[in-house]
Amino acid sequence: MNLTELKKKSAADLITIAQELKLEGTARSRKQDVIFAIL
């Protein structure tokens, strides 16, 4: 998944992806912060 694809997703979708990747502390993060945590 690249940056352009992630930017098109909603914040809720990004948080779901982050949870699936077992990233912690993303629920209250800004959308941009969640994107970079995923990358």
pLDDT in tens, 1-39: 899 999 999 999 999 999 999 999 988 999 999 999 999
Phi-psi category of residue 29: left, alpha or beta, with phi > 0 → left and psi -120 to 50 → alpha: beta
* pTM metric for this prediction: 0.86
Q: Which token pair is 35?
A: 């994107």
Residue 14 belongs to what domain range?
3-38
Total domains, the chain: 1
Q: Which token pair is 7?
A: 């930017």
Phi, psi of 25 (to 5 degrees): 75, 20
